[in-house]
Amino acid sequence: MRRSIILIAVAAFFLVGTISQAHAEFPTKPITLLCPFGAGSTTDLASRSLSNCAKKFFSQPIVVVNQPGASGVLAAATTAKGKPDGYTILMGRVSCNAAVPALNKTIPYKVDDFTFVGITEITPFIICVRADAPYQTLQALVDAIKAEPGKLSYGTSGALSMLDIVGMMLLDAAGLPKNAAVSVPYKGDGDAKTSLLGGHTQFLPNNLSPMMDVIKSGMVRGLAVTTEQRLEMFPDIPTVAEAGYPTLTNAVGWSGIFGPKNMPKEVVTTYAEMLQKLKTDEEWLRTTQNLGALPAVMTPGESEKFVMDQYDKFLRIGEKMDIVIQ
């Protein structure tokens, strides 16, 4: 009996050692990073920047796979239902990981059906019009919407996408109903941008990143940005608070790494340590800033709190505007 107990103890010791070694060696094969939006989108560029810089810290590549659809819900659902081994992760976004779960209860996952690995960046929104539009200020745009309800339109990347939600938040902040301006859905923020440039829509609340080139070229005028301070690269564009709509400061985008629920702690730690190294990686910092985002790497615990706070804000907004789908 004593000999059997000793043998079991020895076997258990080696088993624990083998498991610990397996986790310590993670990753042992390529990792799939699901991008919930199409090629060239803000999320796609952020995904590829992270993938490129992660080569310095991981022995295996992180391969970006675009899986667009339903405001990011398709890729998020794939991740939530995936095997929690760390080899399929999601470049989560505010839309599919906070806003849509708060506003649409029919999607196939909940806000906490994930492992919160780490928020990486904050992306401000900017409300834009074409350079030849008559609206010189955000207030002038709002006044035009009030004057002829239902005439002006704005592009979105889908129903209840962040572009759609920020547009409704603007209308709500101005004391207008959500149908005071027409929301026109497109496949992504790039298509919504093209629509604005073509004159098919009259204004666009979009992520800063895809709008930087057309603002710099003078094709588009930025009326207000959702940061608390003016952007260093566009010092002439007022903040939403300066423009008279301080509640729109809550309208920010963000990116972060999410995995299926119940990922091994050791794997989460490996990812979290890699993300912390990005905070001092000059290449990643430079690329992120050039894409119009603000580096904001958070720990898993900080990320979970941040996301749940965002979820609660969107739920309150949705209930106020009566747009929650049950």
- Asked if pLDDT for residue 7 goes beyond 70, the answer is no
- Asked if pLDDT for residue 74 goes beyond 60, the answer is yes
Tell how strand 294-295 and strand 114-130 pair up: antiparallel
Is 5 a member of any domain?
Answer: no
Q: What are phi and psi of 214, to 5 degrees?
A: -80, -20
CATH of the domain at 35: 3.40.190.150
Domain end call among 250, 269, 289: 250
Q: What does the mean pLDDT of the chain come to?
A: 91
Q: Name which residue leads in pLDDT, 167 or 4.
A: 167
Res 240: pLDDT: 97
Q: What are phi and psi of 257, to 5 degrees?
A: -95, 130
- Asked if pLDDT for residue 308 goes beyond 70, the answer is yes
Percentage above 90 pLDDT, the chain: 75
Q: Are 157 and 186 in contact (CB under 8 A)?
A: yes
If asked whether residues 179 and 199 sit together in one domain, one would say yes
Q: For tokens 């985008």, what's the residue?
A: 253
If asked whether residues 97 and 136 sit together in one domain, one would say no
Tens of pLDDT along 226-274? 998 999 889 999 999 999 999 999 888 899 999 999 999 999 999 999 9
Res 19: pLDDT: 43
Write the DSSP assignment of 14-51 as a string of letters.
HHHHHHHHHHHT--SS-EEEEESS-TTSHHHHHHHHHH
- Asked if pLDDT for residue 10 goes beyond 50, the answer is no
Tens of pLDDT along 147-179? 999 999 999 988 888 899 999 999 999 999 989
Res 32: pLDDT: 98
Tens of pLDDT along 92-127? 999 899 999 999 999 999 999 999 999 999 999 999
The structural domain count of the chain equals 2
Measure the CA–CA gap between 139 and 121, rounded to whole angstroms: 29
**Mean pLDDT value across residues 76-81:** 97
Q: The domain containing residue 259 runs over which residues?
A: 30-122+253-321
How far are the Cα atoms of 54, 117, 177, 221, 309 from residue 171, in angstroms, in the given order?
41, 34, 6, 19, 23
Is 20 a member of any domain?
Answer: no
If asked whether residues 129 and 235 sit together in one domain, one would say yes
Encoding tokens for residue 310? 């965002």
If asked whether residues 237 and 267 sit together in one domain, one would say no
**Mean pLDDT value across residues 305-320:** 92
What pLDDT band is residue 16 in, cutting at 50, 70 and 90?
Answer: very low
